[in-house]
Amino acid sequence: MAEKNANQEALCPACDRFIGPLDTCPYCDSPSPKPFSLRFLRFASLALAVIGMALLYLAARRGGVVTIGIGMVTPAMNSAYVRVTGTVAATPKTGLAESAYVSFPISDGSNRLMVVAFNACARGLIDTTNVPQRGARVDVAGTVSISRPGERRLIMDSPEQLKVK
């Protein structure tokens, strides 16, 4: 009985053609009023989607970058955006050829992580002389890149991601 009633609501009352959830028949332009619950459900689902997206946006804007220890970087974190703190363990390597680069390892006492910057980010570090020296304490944010086992890198996107303490 309920199935027959649902089928009747999907048919045009004037020409008996299938019109589904439409309010006006596309064949004869006859109005086909739908129950209040169906109209309410349409608007409620749209409102809920918009509110959910707004809340998701606010949560993303409020959440800061997660600070982790270098030893916590695992292959499951590939492409994660994180912040690490450590000491520059070796003299940084720089280059200004076709593609500029800056790279230096940082250590937190137990593990090492290679920090790299390419092109515009590297040029910004070199131009502002913000390339840290060996032994400097740094706080750096970037994207984790693990290309093969044991090769862990943190790729910087902008010079502002590096803070020398």
Long-range contacts of 138-141 (CB under 8 A, 24+ apart): 138/85, 138/86, 138/87, 138/88, 138/106, 138/162, 138/163, 138/164, 138/165, 139/83, 139/84, 139/85, 139/163, 139/165, 140/83, 140/84, 140/85, 140/106, 140/115, 141/65, 141/81, 141/82, 141/83, 141/84
Contacts with 99 (C-beta within 8 Å, 6 or more apart), sequence order: 118, 119
pLDDT at 7: 63
**pLDDT by residue, tens only, the chain of 165 residues:** 444 455 667 888 889 899 888 888 999 998 887 767 777 888 999 999 999 999 999 988 887 788 888 888 888 889 889 999 999 999 999 888 778 899 999 998 888 999 999 988 988 888 888 889 999 999 999 999 998 877 899 999 999 989 988
Q: What ranges do the domains of the chain cover?
A: 2-62, 66-164
pLDDT at 99: 83
pLDDT at 137: 94
φ/ψ (deg, to 5) at 119: 45, -115
User: What count of residues does the chain have?
Assistant: 165
Contact by Cβ (8 Å): 111, 130 = no
pLDDT at 61: 83
Q: Domain 66-164 maps to which CATH number in 1.20.1600.10, 2.40.50.140, 1.10.3720.10, 3.40.50.20? A: 2.40.50.140
φ/ψ (deg, to 5) at 140: -130, 140
pLDDT at 1: 40
